[in-house]
A = this chain, B = another copy of it.
Amino acid sequence: MSKLRVAAFTLSIDGFGAGPDQDLKNPLGIGGEALHKWMVGTRTFRNMVGEKGGTTDTDDGFTVRSFENVGAWILGRNMFGPIRGEWPDGSWKGWWGDNPPYHVPVFVLTHHEREPSVMEGGTTFHFVTDGIHSALEKARAAADGKDVRVGGGVATIRQYLQESLIDELHLAISPMLLGSGENLFAGLDMLKLGYRCTEQVATPDATHVIIKRD
C-alpha cells in the first residue's frame, strides 16, 4: 500500500531539523550541514553527488531505504529554494543542479503559482498552491501505488503530522546541539496524534529511529 513517509530526516539532540538563518550559502541553516555527517559519508550519498567510495554500513542502509519505493515527493518551498514571495521568473530550479536526485515528480508547496519545471533524469517540479491535502492527492496519483516521501523542511512535516497523515518517519538524531532553528516536535503531542517509536538503531554519527502511526 502506498505510504506517506518521512525518511532520512535529521534532527539535533535538541530537536531542530535545520539551523537558524537559512540562505543561499546555508541551505540547511547555520550548523545544519554538520547535522548530516552520518549521511554524507555513505556510498549512496557519494554516488548521488557523483563521487566514488563511501561507507556501506547501517548509515548507508538507512540512506538506501530512504529512496526505496518512492514514487513522488512533497517539499516545502524553503526546501526547494531561498526565494520568498512571488517567483520573479522560472530560473530558480532548486538547489540540486540540472539533474536533481529525485527522478520522479516532486510537488512543491507554495502560495505563488508557477509552471512546472521539467528537469533531467525524470524529476519534474510541480508547484501546488492549494494546500497540503491537494499536494498529497496529486503526489499519490503521480506515485502510482508507490510511496510519497515528504522531504521537508520541518514546517512541512509538521503540517502533515498535525493531521496524522504521515504513516512512517525515519529520523536520524545527530549527536550535536543546534540551539535554535525549526523544532520538529514543539507543541505537537505525538502520542495523541497516534505515533509510536518502533525501532532504534544507533551508529557513531546518528541514532536512527522509526516512528509509525498506530
Residue positions of A touching B, CB distance < 8 A: 13-15, 31, 171, 173, 175-180, 183, 185-186, 188-193, 195-197, 199-200, 202-204, 207, 209, 211
Among B192, B202, B209, contact of A13 (Cβ-Cβ < 8 Å)? B209
By beta carbon, the residue of chain B nearest A177 is B190
Chain B residue contacts of A197, Cβ below 8 A: 13, 175-177
A178 touches B191 (CB 8 A): yes
By beta carbon, the residue of chain B nearest A200 is B175
B189 touches A179 (CB 8 A): yes
Number of copies: 2
B14 touches A190 (CB 8 A): yes
Query: Other than the known A13-B185, A179-B191, what 20 A-B pairs have Cβ atoms closer than 8 Å?
Result: A13-B171, A13-B209, A14-B15, A14-B185, A15-B15, A175-B199, A175-B200, A175-B209, A177-B190, A177-B197, A177-B211, A178-B191, A179-B190, A180-B189, A180-B191, A180-B192, A186-B186, A200-B202, A202-B202, A202-B203
Chain B residue contacts of A203, Cβ below 8 A: 202
Given A191-B178, A204-B200, verify A13-B173 contact (CB < 8 Å).
yes
By beta carbon, the residue of chain B nearest A176 is B197
22 contacts between A and B (CB under 8 A): A13-B185, A13-B209, A14-B15, A14-B185, A14-B190, A173-B173, A175-B197, A175-B199, A176-B196, A177-B195, A177-B196, A179-B189, A179-B190, A179-B192, A180-B189, A180-B192, A183-B186, A186-B186, A200-B202, A202-B202, A202-B203, A202-B207
